[in-house]
Amino acid sequence: MNRPALILAASLAVFAGAAAKAHHSFAVYFDGEKIITLKGTVKSFRFTNPHGLIVLEVADDEGKRVEWRSETNAPVVLMRRGWRRDSVKPGETITIDGWPARDGKPYIRLRSAKKADGKMIGTTLFDETDG
């Protein structure tokens, strides 16, 4: 199992507020009080409902590659926030943040994603105000 402590460039912050409704229960699956940040190489990006998904390869402190999955809001929501099917491309380096899975698995719910130059993908963060 991948542990948060092993993640390179990871940060932990207290996030005040509830988070977004999903087809499955956000409150049950994710810890709405924490945000973690991950920087890595995109392996794949799927853009289908009920959730988009970014598979990100992240190097841990020992240089070992760890595969994380980041579930996004439904692409119908992403589309209205400026995302497109090719907004994230395999092979590129991105930085993402979001709410970690409560069960400790390498799985998070995406709050934001940035390109290597620091530019945010889409027009706004996904947070407690989103579907």
Answer yes or no whether residue 12 interacts with another protein by CB under 8 A. no
Cβ 119 to another protein, closest distance in Å? Answer: 24
Per-residue x/- mask for another protein, residues 25 to 64, rule CB under 8 A? Answer: xxxxx----------------x-xxxx-x-x---------
Answer yes or no whether residue 87 interacts with another protein by CB under 8 A. no
* Residue 21 to residue 30: CA distance in whole angstroms: 11
Answer yes or no whether residue 6 interacts with another protein by CB under 8 A. no
Answer yes or no whether residue 90 interacts with another protein by CB under 8 A. no
Cβ 120 to another protein, closest distance in Å? Answer: 19
Answer yes or no whether residue 79 interacts with another protein by CB under 8 A. yes
Cβ 74 to another protein, closest distance in Å? Answer: 7
Write the CB contacts of 93 (distance below 8 Å, at least 6 apart in sequence).
Answer: 39, 40, 41, 42, 116
Cβ-in-10-Å burial (0-12, 13-18, 19+) of 45 comes to: buried
Give the residues lining the site for another protein (CB under 8 A). 1-2, 18-21, 23-29, 46, 48-51, 53, 55, 67, 69, 74, 76-77, 79, 105-107, 128-131
